[in-house]
C-alpha cells in the first residue's frame, strides 16, 4: 500500500464521512448541513434509518458496526458493517435505493456513494493500521452488490474531498445551486436551499417546480386562560387549566405554542419545545406582542451574511422600496375591491385610489430612508382615510372605523386590527427564527420596544391579506357582538376572552387559505408563505434576489 500524506487536523476538526457523501452529491448541500448546521428529515431519511435498524437486528455473527475517528486523516464515521473475506477486512455500506447503471447496463456505485465507501476504507486504514483492498455497497431495491476497489486514485479522491470540505467550512460564501435540477427533487434540504427559486431569480423564463413543502399541518396552540400551566408528560405537552381536567397534546402535532396573559410554562416543557423546533411566543392579556423564545441553533453563517448584506445603505434602501411598494400596492388593490360592482362609488374612495397610485410612482425615486418614510406615511394616511368606505351598510356604529389609533385602541375596529397585528408579528418572528436570521437587524424599521425591526419589516407584506381583509370581512358579515366580544374601560376598548378566541379562529383559518405566488406561479397556504418570504428575503443578499416583496393582493 502506498502511503499518502494527509493534512494533519486536530480531533475537533474531523469531518464526518457522511458529510463527504453530501459534498460529492452537492457542495451546496454540504455547506448547508456542515457550515450552516441545517438539517431536515424527510421520508427517504426515515426509510434509510429503518433499513439500518432492520439490518442491525439480523443475526449475523460476521456483522460488526464500528465507529472510528482519525485526527491524522481528518475523518470520523460509523461503518455500516465490517466483514472478513479471505482474511481481509471489507467495509460494507447499505443503500435503500437502486444502483447506477453504465452504458452497458452494468451496476455501478453512484459517485457520492463511491466516495463514501472509499472514505470509510481510508479511515479504517488510518485508524487500525491495516490494508483495505476494497469496499462494497449493497443496493437493496435491486439487490445488487457493487465492489469499489481502494487504489491510489481512490485515496487521492478522498484526500481532495477532505481538503475541499475544509475550505468550505471556513468560507462565508454558500456554493451556487447545482446545474443538475433532477438532484434537487430528491434532496431533503430543498425546502431550505430553494434551488428552483434561485434558478428563477437568474432566469425569469424558468418554470419552477414547487419543492417547498405545501403545508405544515401542526397545530398552533393558544393558551388564553390566565393561570394555565403548560408542562411535559412523556412525549406530550400537558395543559392544566384552573378547575378543569388536564389536557394532553402529542408533541408531533404542535407547531407553535402561544402563551397569552399570565399563563405559565415549565422549564421541562420549554426545553422540550426547543428540542422539537416548536416556536414559543408570548402575548399580553391586552393583546400586545411581548416576545418569542429564541429557538435558533447554529446558523451563525446565515447571520454573518445578513450583517454583511444589511450593513450597506444602498441594499437597505432598495429592500425598503420593495417593501413600501408591496404594502402600498396591496392596500390600494384592497381599496379597489370596494369599487367592483358598486353602483355608487364614494368620491373619497376613488380619490384615495388615484392619489395612492401617484405616490407609488414616486417610491422608486426615493433617495433615502427618510424620504421613503414620507411616502409610506402618505400611503398609510390615504389608505386608512378611505378604509371606512369598505364597511357595508347596516354595520352598527360601534363597529365603524374613523382613523387608526393604537396603544390602547379606542374603538372596536382598531382593537381587532391591533390584536390581529400582534398575532401576525408572532408568526413573522416564528418564521425568522425558523430560517435562522437575526430579528434585531432590519433594513427599514428602526429599533422600537414593540418588536425587532426585521419582524416589523416583514409583517408589512402580510398586513393586508392576513389581518385587514379578514377583519373587514368579519365586520361586514356581522360576526361580532358589540357587547360580549369587547370590554370598555373608559376610552379604552379591549377584546373579551370570547372576542380573542373568535379573532384567533378567524386568523388561523385565514392562514389555511392558499395564495398563488405571482412570481413562482405555485400556490401555498399563507402559513407556508410566511416562511417562504423570509427565505426569499435572505436570497436578496446571497446573489439570488429578485423574488422578495412580490406578494400583492390582486
> What is the tens place of the pLDDT at every residue in 155-198?
999 999 999 999 999 888 889 999 988 889 888 899 989 999 99
What confidence score (pLDDT) does residue 9 get? 43
Burial class (CB in 10 A: 0-12, 13-18, 19+), 116: buried
pLDDT given for residue 450 in this prediction? 65
CB atoms under 10 Å from CB of 84, counted, come to 10
Neighbours of 254 (CB within 10 A): 19
Q: What's the distance, CA 265 to chain centroid? A: 25
Judge residue 385's burial from the number of C-beta atoms within 10 Å of its C-beta, 0-12 exposed, 13-18 middle, 19 or more buried: middle
Is the backbone peptide bond immediately before 192 cis, with ω within 30 degrees of 0? Answer: no
For 22-35, b where at least 16 C-beta lie within 10 A, e where not — what string? bbbbbbbbbbbbbb
CATH topology of domain 219-292: Ribosomal Protein L15; Chain: K; domain 2 (3.100.10)
Domain topology for 11-183: Lambda Exonuclease; Chain A (3.90.320)
pLDDT tens for 307-346 read 999 999 999 999 999 999 999 999 999 999 888 766 667 8
What's residue 301's pLDDT?
84
Question: According to the model, what pLDDT value does residue 345 have?
Answer: 72
Domain with CATH 1.20.120.920 in the chain: 313-539
Superfamily of domain 313-539: CRISPR-associated endonuclease Cas1, C-terminal domain (1.20.120.920)
Closest CA to 81 of 135, 37, 25: 135
Question: How many angstroms separate the Cα of 190 from the Cα of each of 46, 182, 258, 330, 381?
Answer: 16, 11, 29, 30, 41
SS3 assignment for 377-408: HHHHHHHHHHHHHHCCCCCCHHHCCCCCCCCC
pLDDT for 451 equals 78
Residues of the chain with CATH 3.90.320.10: 11-183
CB-CB contact of 485 with 494 (8 Å): no
Q: Count of residues for the chain?
A: 554
Q: Where in the chain is the domain with CATH 3.100.10.20?
A: 219-292
Ramachandran area for residue 541 (φ above 0: left; ψ -120 to 50: alpha; else beta): alpha
Q: Please report where in the chains the cell 446545474 appears, as a residue.
A: 179
Closest C-alpha to 122, from 140, 148, 100, 86: 148
Give pLDDT, residue 229.
94
Query: Which parts of the chain have pLDDT scores under 70?
Result: 1-12, 39-65, 298, 341-344, 448-450
β-pairing verdict for 219-223 and 144-149: unpaired
- Residue 185 to residues 10, 22, 178, 181, 196, Cα–Cα distance (Å): 36, 15, 12, 7, 10
Which residue is it, cell 372576542? 499
Q: Which sign, positive or negative, has the C-alpha torsion 147, 153, 155, 158?
A: negative
Amino acid at each position: 500500500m502506498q502511503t499518502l500524506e494527509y493534512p494533519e487536523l486536530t480531533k475537533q476538526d474531523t469531518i464526518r464521512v457522511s458529510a463527504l457523501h453530501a459534498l460529492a452529491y452537492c457542495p451546496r448541500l454540504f455547506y448547508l448541513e456542515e457550515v450552516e448546521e441545517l438539517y431536515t428529515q424527510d421520508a427517504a431519511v426515515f426509510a434509510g434509518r429503518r433499513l439500518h435498524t432492520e439490518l442491525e437486528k439480523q443475526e449475523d455473527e460476521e456483522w460488526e458496526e464500528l465507529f472510528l475517528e482519525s485526527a491524522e486523516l481528518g475523518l470520523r464515521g460509523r461503518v455500516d458493517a465490517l466483514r472478513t473475506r479471505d482474511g481481509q477486512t471489507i467495509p460494507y455500506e447499505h443503500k435503500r435505493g437502486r444502483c447506477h447503471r453504465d452504458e452497458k447496463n452494468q451496476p455501478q456505485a453512484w459517485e457520492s456513494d463511491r466516495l463514501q465507501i472509499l472514505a470509510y476504507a481510508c479511515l479504517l486504514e488510518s485508524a487500525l493500521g491495516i490494508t483495505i483492498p476494497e469496499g462494497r455497497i449493497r443496493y437493496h431495491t435491486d439487490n445488487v452488490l457493487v465492489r469499489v476497489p481502494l487504489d491510489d486514485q481512490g485515496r487521492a479522491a478522498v484526500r481532495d474531498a477532505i481538503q475541499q470540505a475544509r475550505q468550505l467550512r471556513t468560507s462565508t460564501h454558500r456554493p451556487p445551486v447545482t446545474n443538475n435540477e433532477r438532484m434537487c427533487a430528491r434532496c431533503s434540504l430543498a425546502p431550505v436551499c430553494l434551488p428552483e427559486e434561485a434558478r428563477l431569480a437568474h432566469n425569469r423564463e424558468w418554470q419552477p417546480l414547487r419543492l417547498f413543502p405545501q403545508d405544515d399541518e401542526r397545530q398552533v396552540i393558544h393558551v388564553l386562560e390566565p393561570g394555565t400551566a403548560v408542562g411535559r408528560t412523556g412525549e406530550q405537552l400537558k395543559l392544566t387549566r384552573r378547575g378543569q381536567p388536564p389536557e394532553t397534546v402529542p408533541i408531533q402535532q404542535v407547531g407553535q405554542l402561544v402563551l397569552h396573559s399570565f399563563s405559565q410554562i415549565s422549564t421541562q416543557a420549554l426545553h422540550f419545545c426547543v428540542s422539537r423546533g416548536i416556536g414559543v411566543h408570548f402575548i399580553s392579556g391586552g393583546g400586545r406582542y411581548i416576545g418569542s423564545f429564541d429557538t435558533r441553533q447554529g446558523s451563525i453563517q446565515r447571520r454573518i451574511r445578513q450583517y454583511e448584506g444589511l450593513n450597506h445603505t444602498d441594499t437597505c434602501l432598495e429592500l425598503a422600496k420593495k417593501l413600501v411598494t408591496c404594502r402600498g400596492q396591496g392596500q390600494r388593490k384592497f381599496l379597489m375591491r370596494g369599487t367592483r360592482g358598486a353602483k355608487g362609488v364614494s368620491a373619497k374612495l376613488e380619490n384615495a385610489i388615484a392619489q395612492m397610485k401617484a405616490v407609488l410612482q414616486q417610491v422608486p425615486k426615493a433617495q433615502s430612508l427618510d424620504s421613503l418614510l414620507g411616502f409610506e406615511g402618505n400611503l398609510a394616511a390615504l389608505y386608512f382615510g378611505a378604509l371606512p368606505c369598505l364597511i357595508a351598510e347596516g354595520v352598527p356604529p360601534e363597529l365603524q372605523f374613523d382613523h387608526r389609533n393604537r396603544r390602547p385602541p379606542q374603538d372596536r375596529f382598531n382593537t381587532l386590527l391591533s390584536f390581529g397585528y400582534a398575532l401576525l408579528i408572532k408568526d413573522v418572528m416564528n418564521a425568522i427564527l425558523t430560517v435562522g436570521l437575526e430579528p434585531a437587524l432590519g433594513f427599514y424599521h428602526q429599533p422600537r420596544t414593540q418588536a425587532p425591526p426585521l419582524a416589523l419589516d416583514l409583517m408589512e407584506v402580510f398586513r393586508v391579506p392576513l389581518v385587514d381583509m379578514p377583519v373587514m370581512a368579519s365586520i361586514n358579515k356581522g360576526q361580532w357582538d358589540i357587547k360580549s366580544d369587547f370590554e370598555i374601560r373608559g376610552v379604552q376598548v379591549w377584546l373579551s376572552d370570547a372576542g380573542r378566541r373568535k379573532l384567533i379562529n378567524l386568523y388561523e383559518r385565514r392562514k389555511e387559505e392558499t395564495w398563488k405566488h405571482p412570481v413562482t406561479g405555485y400556490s401555498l397556504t399563507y402559513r407556508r408563505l410566511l416562511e417562504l418570504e423570509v427565505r426569499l428575503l435572505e436570497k436578496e443578499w446571497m446573489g439570488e434576489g429578485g423574488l422578495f416583496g412580490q406578494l400583492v393582493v390582486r
